Amino acid sequence: MATMNETIVALSSGGLPSGVAVLRLSGTMATVAIRTLAGSVPPERRASLRVLKDHDGQIIDRGIVVFFPGPDSVTGEDLAEFHLHGGKAVVAACLAALTALPDVRLAQPGEFTRRSFINGRIDLTEAEGLADLLAAETEGQRRQAVMQAGGETRALYEGWMKRLTFCRAMLEADFDFADEDDVSDDVAADVSREISDLLAEMRGYVSHAHQGEIFRNGFSVAIAGVPNAGKSSLMNALARRDVAIVSDIPGTTRDLIEVSLDLRGIPVRLIDTAGLRDSPDRIEQLGMDRAREALSHAGLVLHLVPSDDAMELTLNDLANEAPVLKVRSKSDLGTAQDGELAISTRTGEGLDELVERIAQIAAEAAGDPSQLVPVHTRQRDIIGQAILVLSDCQDDLPLEIYAEVLRSASERLGALTGQRGVEDMLDVIFSQFCIGK
């Protein structure tokens, strides 16, 4: 990672051309940069209209300049914003003029956010929330990310750490001051009650994490069945575009084909798979392997059974724990049995009802987004480790060892917010960001 002495600059707004483009520049050269391009530094935090000139005195653009002095800026450093007309040449000229200044260079992805973290403006959970917020595509994802970016997750984790620290302090005070054979049972009992409460809370939190993941990554719905059941046709109908090849040749689909849908704010990943049958074709076999793999990870399996075909597969074993919803396809070619969900991509029969059912099942799996805790896999792993350490606490442990276990657990939790042992994680986390963030 490049050093913090350098001042970084990037286009922070979206693709060009656009109405307005915002360049952000962070670091010690911020005031020099403003003075060089805009003539003088405007009052702090005030949007000021300026003529921006390059190093030869040629006008680049007229735009708004804002100066945010550190350490109260988003990055914790002196920060300048240039709001320009969003043309490619305008932005290129302004970036060229800025990077021509000594110690000013283009930012790497996530570098602004990384500086916010290093300067203590945000913690890791907030950084992860920010990354999610930028990536959010559905309303549910946005709400979840906002909670995390706003520091609610941080507050929760810090609360846990405080409770652990308090318990440790009680234990340590006890073995420092009590005389040897009079170690207070009361303290040990209080601590052990508090730890078991905390453990219950942490376990409950982690069990919600799976639901949180549905909001982050989407609820996966795999479409499966015999060849020519109409799987790809259904995929195209639900996606409202031709994503998958449809033909009357059985064994058309081989690769998994995935589209993302937004069903009532819940992101759903719909996966079309190869038809399952005995086939000597090597490629088709590979396709079926992928199909089985997809079924085993799906949140819901749609089992398409064509109306004109007597053969029926059993998919329950392949689907792991996911529910299997039987759907009678090509309903225009036969009559469905009572209570069966029948669809036809030819006539459109049953498609709305199917979407309704998928949305219902996805919503049940995802839970109420307002109740959800946003938990990244990274966070879940760490909490899992801390739970393991704490579960090892036996009441009859010598107090010194008990205190040591608590210290070790709270050390682990420290990695959640980035207070401890996360150097190697930083690149992973910040590389999720785009340049300019």
Ligand X SMILES: Nc1nc2c(ncn2[C@@H]2O[C@H](COP(=O)(O)OP(=O)(O)OP(=O)(O)O)[C@@H](O)[C@H]2O)c(=O)[nH]1
On whether the CB atoms of residues 245 and 232 are closer than 8 A, the answer is: yes
Exactly one of 144, 253, 379, 410 binds ligand X (CB under 6 A); which one?
Answer: 253
Instruction: State the angle between helix axes of 423-430 and 124-135 in degrees (0 to 180), rounded to the nearest 10.
Output: 20
Question: How far out from the chain centre does Cα 79 lie?
Answer: 27
Q: Which one-letter DSSP state was computed for residue 161?
A: H
Residue nearest K ion by beta-carbon distance? 252
CB of 121 to ligand X, least distance (A): 51
- In the bound state with ligand X, the residue whose beta carbon lies nearer, of 71 and 334, is 334
Cβ 109 vs Cβ 435: under 8 Å: yes
* 245 appears as a binding residue in the annotation: no
Query: Considering the complex, what minimum distance in angstroms separates the CB of residue 380 from K ion?
Result: 40
Give SS3 for 18.
strand
Which of these ranges, 22-30, 107-115, 250-258, 418-426, lies near ligand X under the rule CB under 6 A? 250-258
Least separation in angstroms between residue 258's CB and K ion is 18
Which pair of structure tokens corresponds to residue 176?
Answer: 């420092």
* Binding piece for K ion, criterion CB under 5 A, among 136-144, 172-180, 245-253, 424-432: 245-253
Q: Is 228 in the site for K ion (CB under 5 A)?
A: yes
Q: Which is nearer to ligand X, 325 or 425 (CB)?
A: 325
Which CB atom, from 211 or from 252, has the smaller least distance to K ion?
252
d(CA 157, CA 412): 11
- Select from K ion, ligand X, Mg ion, none the partner in contact with residue 417, using the beta carbon and a kind-dependent cut-off of 5 to 8 Å: none
232 is in an annotated binding site: yes
To which H or E segment does residue 86 belong? strand 79-86
| Four-residue CA torsion sign, 348, 350, 354, 360 | positive
Please, which residue, 13 or 252, has the CB nearer to ligand X? 252
344 touches, from ligand X, Mg ion, K ion, none (C-beta below 5 to 8 Å by class): ligand X
Positions in 303-362 near ligand X (CB under 6 A): 329-330, 332-333, 344-346
Rounded CA gap, 23 and 82, in Å?
Answer: 5
In the block, tokens 């759903």 appear at: 268
* Residue 250 marked ligand-binding: yes
216: exposed, middle or buried (Cβ count in 10 Å: 0-12, 13-18, 19+) = buried
- Please check if 274 is assigned to a binding site: yes
Is 81 annotated as belonging to a binding site?
Answer: yes
- Residues in binding contact with ligand X, number by CB under 6 A: 23
Binding letters toward ligand X, positions 198-227, x by CB under 6 A: -----------------------------x
Verify binding: residue 229, ligand X, rule CB under 6 A.
Answer: yes
Interface pattern 217-246 for Mg ion (x via CB under 5 A): --------------xx--------------
Q: Which of the ranges 29-37, 48-56, 155-163, 248-256 carries the binding residues for ligand X, by CB under 6 A?
A: 248-256
Q: Are strands 18-26 and 79-86 parallel, antiparallel or unpaired?
A: antiparallel
The site that binds Mg ion (CB under 5 A) totals a number of residues, namely 4
Structural Rg of the chain based on CA atoms: 29
Q: By rule CB under 6 A, what string of x and - marks binding of each residue 130-159 to ligand X?
A: ------------------------------
329: contact with Mg ion by CB under 5 A: no
Tokens representing 229 are 């059941």
Cα 387 to the center of its chain, rounded Å: 23
Q: From the list 26, 75, 211, 253, which residue makes contact with Mg ion (rule: CB under 5 A)?
A: 253
Measured CA to CA in angstroms, residue 267 lies from 123, 155, 218, 307, 421 at distances of: 27, 27, 5, 30, 33
Q: Distance of alpha carbon 291 from its chain centroid, rounded? A: 26
User: How big is the site for K ion, counted in residues (CB under 5 A)?
Assistant: 3
Could you give the CA distance from residue 314 to residue 53 in angstroms, rounded to a whole number? 71
Pick from K ion, Mg ion, ligand X, none: which does 125 bind, CB < 5 to 8 A by kind? none
Residue among 378, 366, 353, 250 at smallest CA distance from 300: 366
- Tokens found for residue 21: 């483009």
Half-sphere exposure at residue 208, Cβ-oriented, CA atoms within 13 angstroms: 15
Residues that bind ligand X (CB under 6 A): 227-233, 246-248, 250-253, 274-275, 329-330, 332-333, 344-346
Residues that bind K ion (CB under 5 A): 228, 247, 252
